[in-house]
């Protein structure tokens, strides 16, 4: 029998939304051999004065009132140079060292340094910049090759205490193995890579791939006026030249608020407040979000199956679940000012009054809590606040409390956040008494489908497909289910995907395109061809990537033009973040699907160079060598992968196939069994092992594991 190596297909992107710890793999441990003085650390990068941009001070001349509102805001102070004045005003001294592994850390706020004591003695790191401040202060230190690295200790503003940065960010992922902290020297804690451009204004990362060096520059720390309003040079010029008292029709500036639709206002905020994957570096307010970003949804374990946040809160995914947001009328600026403050901080119910007057005015009837109690505040039930890594976050889905989800998935619910002396069963009993209809049922149904799809429990496939086809289904859940369906072998998935490819939501369409790539049929090719001309970039590039794996067929000159343009957009997208190994890995997959094995190998090798512990590019590099008949080189890459992760299911599976091809049955069996042990649902490995054993030991090709039933074939 002929065995063919299989690519490791999950596409792992890291971008804005993956700020820290979404993937726990490190990069290039940095050793600092000399002490950098605080004076050196305080120097900011050279000004990044971009053409057309004037800087915040230029706005002050005419907009003093707004400047005074903005300057003390958390937007303005999203990043600040460290100073002793800031330290004395905002920080308390660290009372004792924090031990992390073999090292002990203490921040000296007066000196502006962090001391590290470990096996190599004492090292000193200067504090150059401070991130955040609403909930947590993080501290940056300059490292080699132009990196700004987040220090391993952070400061909780509310608790006024110092804590272990990485440990605080560990997920508990219900039902999965415990997470492990990332070293503070690894790339997820590199400001230039992970924090992207949401803490400074007019950023240029300036990464040199050849030397693995950053020359990062920005115009101003924090989020300045021109981040939301665009470059102001022309605005200032025309206003100064205008006759006194004349109101100009064209102010040569981006005016949000009333001049934007609700979606445009939201998208301008979502460019930072989303767990997103950047496609370009060219987003400006007024653009559509999905022309510049992809979005992480519930296919990711960073969300509970019902959509509540498990990790960092970036708002946009949960916001899209909100019935209020779906109305198309509500924007971020309804509740927040452009500098991020709450408009109705003292009486938050007033934010809900315009649309929900009857319920707000008759709060007790609606909430079953006393009128002036916290239980009658809309946000307490519909936007409950939880915390993660010291960061407080409000649930922007605005869906009602669902204690049933707490019972099923450990998801937080508003009732027990207040009544923390009671359990979820108690809360569930009360909400069922209060409501005649079971409002939790539809919420639980879609959460159960996500949970089943995550576990690849295809016994509920018909329900999953039925939900995707519903007219009033939720786009985030549909996109998430489509993404989770990729490993499902059932042919009934295809017609549902073809229908989803015509959906009004670009998020759903793009998810469908990516999944259609595994069906190389004329019907799917026609749909993908059409999608390369979609109005939204995300859909076009997903279609182009999917077409790479389809056999070429006769096409018109117009079709070829659309494909070429979408393909170039895709390649450009993958080069947007050249400092991230996943960009090169995904580009390698595109070239591999296209049959360009040389380019694929080059991309995979770059990914491995950037991240020497990345398993996926190693496995797919083996695939590329295998397809060109270079099995020795394929084996070399699989050995690299297994050296990093001996129990990796896909690496063992592919090594098993390679050993079977080499007629080394014993080794093939060993690796296939390891693959099945690591992933009992890897049907390809079960089938391959059954076929391997059928010729020599047919009695062993039957699965006799407890609970499998008598005589079930292992290759079934």
Residue 618's pLDDT band (cuts 50, 70, 90):
very high
CA distance 579 to 207: 7
Predicted confidence (pLDDT) at residue 376 exceeds the cutoff of 70: yes
SS3 183: coil
Token representation of residue 24: 């726990």
Task: Determine the pLDDT at residue 703.
Answer: 52
Q: What is the pLDDT of residues 678-691, one digit of tens each?
A: 999 898 899 999 98
Q: What is the pLDDT of residues 432-482, one digit of tens each?
A: 999 999 999 999 999 999 999 999 999 999 999 999 999 999 999 999 999
- What b/e sequence results for 193-205 when a residue is b if at least 16 CB atoms lie within 10 Å of its CB, and e otherwise? bbbbbbbbbbbbb
Mean pLDDT along residues 49-57 = 88
User: Phi/psi at 437 (nearest 5 deg)?
Assistant: -95, 150
CA distance 374 to 275: 30
Task: Determine the pLDDT at residue 554.
Answer: 63
Mean pLDDT along residues 130-151 = 96
Contact 78, 199 (CB under 8 A): yes
Global pTM reads 0.89
Residue 698's pLDDT band (cuts 50, 70, 90):
low
Average pLDDT, the chain: 88
Task: Determine the pLDDT at residue 66.
Answer: 92
- Closest by CA position to 347, among listed 338, 360, 358, 333: 360
- Closest by CA position to 483, among listed 264, 342, 651, 300: 300
Token representation of residue 507: 């998020």
Residue 696's pLDDT band (cuts 50, 70, 90):
low
* Positive or negative: CA dihedral 654, 660, 662, 666: positive
Q: What is the pLDDT of residues 144-188, one digit of tens each?
A: 999 999 999 999 999 999 999 999 988 888 877 777 888 999 998
Contact 352, 360 (CB under 8 A): yes
48 CB-contact burial (10 Å; exposed 0-12 / middle 13-18 / buried 19+): middle
Token representation of residue 98: 């924090």
Token representation of residue 393: 């976050």
- Closest by CA position to 20, among listed 210, 240, 177, 171: 171
SS3 366: helix
CA distance 37 to 124: 9
Predicted confidence (pLDDT) at residue 537 exceeds the cutoff of 90: yes
In sequence order, what are the beta bridge partners of 382?
none
Task: Determine the pLDDT at residue 161.
Answer: 96
Task: Determine the pLDDT at residue 587.
Answer: 96
Predicted confidence (pLDDT) at residue 58 exceeds the cutoff of 80: yes
User: Of residues 246 and 208, which shows the higher confidence score?
Assistant: 208
């Amino acid at each position: 029998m002929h065995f063919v190596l299989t690519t490791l297909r999950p596409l792992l992107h890291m971008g804005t939304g993956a700020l820290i710890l979404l993937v726990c793999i490190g990069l290039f441990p940095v050793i600092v051999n000399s002490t950098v003085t605080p004076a050196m650390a305080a120097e900011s990068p050279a000004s990044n004065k971009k053409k057309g941009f004037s800087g915040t001070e230029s706005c002050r001349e005419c907009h003093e009132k707004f400047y005074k509102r903005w300057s003390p805001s958390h937007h303005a102070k999203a990043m600040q140079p460290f100073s002793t004045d800031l330290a004395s005003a905002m920080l308390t001294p660290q009372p004792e060292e924090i031990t992390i592994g073999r090292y002990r850390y203490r921040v000296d706020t007066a000196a502006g340094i962090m001391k590290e004591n470990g096996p190599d003695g004492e090292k000193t790191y200067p504090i150059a910049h401070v991130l955040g401040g609403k909930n947590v202060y993080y501290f940056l230190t300059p490292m080699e090759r132009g990196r700004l690295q987040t220090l391993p200790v952070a400061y909780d503003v509310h608790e006024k205490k110092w804590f272990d940065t990485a440990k605080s960010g560990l997920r508990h992922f219900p039902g999965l193995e415990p997470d492990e902290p990332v070293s503070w020297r690894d790339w997820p804690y590199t400001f230039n890579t992970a924090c992207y451009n949401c803490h400074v204004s007019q950023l240029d990362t300036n990464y040199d791939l050849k030397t693995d060096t950053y020359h990062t520059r920005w115009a101003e720390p924090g989020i300045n006026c021109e981040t939301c309003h665009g470059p102001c040079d022309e605005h200032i010029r025309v206003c100064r030249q205008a006759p006194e008292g004349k109101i100009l029709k064209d102010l040569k500036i981006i005016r949000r608020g009333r001049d934007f639709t609700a979606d445009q206002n939201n998208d301008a905020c979502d460019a930072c407040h989303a767990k997103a994957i950047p496609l370009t570096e060219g987003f400006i307010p007024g653009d559509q979000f999905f022309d510049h970003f992809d979005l992480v949804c519930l296919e990711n374990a960073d969300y509970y199956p019902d959509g509540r946040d498990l990790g960092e809160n970036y708002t946009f995914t949960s916001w899209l679940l909100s019935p209020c947001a779906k109305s198309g009328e509500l924007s971020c600026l309804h509740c927040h000012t452009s500098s991020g403050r709450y408009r109705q901080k003292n009486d938050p119910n007033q934010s809900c009054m315009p649309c929900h007057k009857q319920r707000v005015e008759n709060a007790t009837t609606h909430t079953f809590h006393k009128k002036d109690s916290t239980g009658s505040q809309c946000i307490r039930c519909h936007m409950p606040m939880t915390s993660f890594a010291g960061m407080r976050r409000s649930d922007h889905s605005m869906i009602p409390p669902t204690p049933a989800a707490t019972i099923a998935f450990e998801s937080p619910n508003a009732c027990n956040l207040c009544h923390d002396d009671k359990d979820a069963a108690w809360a569930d009993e009360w909400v069922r008494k209060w409501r005649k209809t079971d409002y939790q049922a539809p919420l639980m149904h879609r959460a159960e489908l996500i949970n089943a799809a995550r576990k690849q429990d295809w016994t509920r496939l018909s329900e999953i497909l039925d939900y995707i086809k519903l007219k009033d289904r939720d786009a985030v859940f549909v996109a998430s289910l489509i993404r989770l369906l990729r490993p499902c072998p059932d042919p009934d998935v295809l017609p549902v995907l073809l229908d989803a490819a015509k959906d009004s939501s670009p998020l759903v369409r793009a998810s469908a395109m990516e999944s259609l790539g595994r069906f190389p049929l004329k019907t799917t090719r026609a749909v993908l061809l059409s999608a390369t001309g979609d109005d939204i970039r995300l859909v076009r590039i997903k279609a182009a990537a999917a077409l790479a794996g389809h056999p070429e067929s006769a096409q018109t000159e117009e079709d070829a033009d659309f494909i070429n343009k979408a393909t170039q957009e895709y390649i450009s997208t993958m080069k947007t973040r050249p400092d991230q190994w996943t960009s090169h890995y995904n580009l390698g997959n595109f070239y591999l699907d296209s049959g360009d094995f040389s380019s694929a190998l080059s991309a995979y090798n770059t990914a491995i160079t950037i991240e020497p512990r990345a398993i996926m590019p190693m496995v797919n590099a083996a695939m590329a060598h295998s397809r060109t008949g270079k099995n020795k080189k394929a084996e070399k890459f699989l050995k690299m992968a297994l050296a990093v992760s001996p129990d990796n299911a896909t690496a063992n599976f592919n090594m098993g196939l390679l050993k079977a091809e080499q007629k080394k049955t014993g080794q093939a069996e060993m690796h296939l069994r390891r693959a099945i042990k690591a992933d009992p649902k890897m049907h390809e490995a079960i089938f391959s092992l059954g076929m391997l054993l059928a010729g020599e030991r047919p009695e062993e090709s039957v699965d006799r594991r407890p609970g499998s039933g008598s005589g079930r074939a292992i290759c079934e």
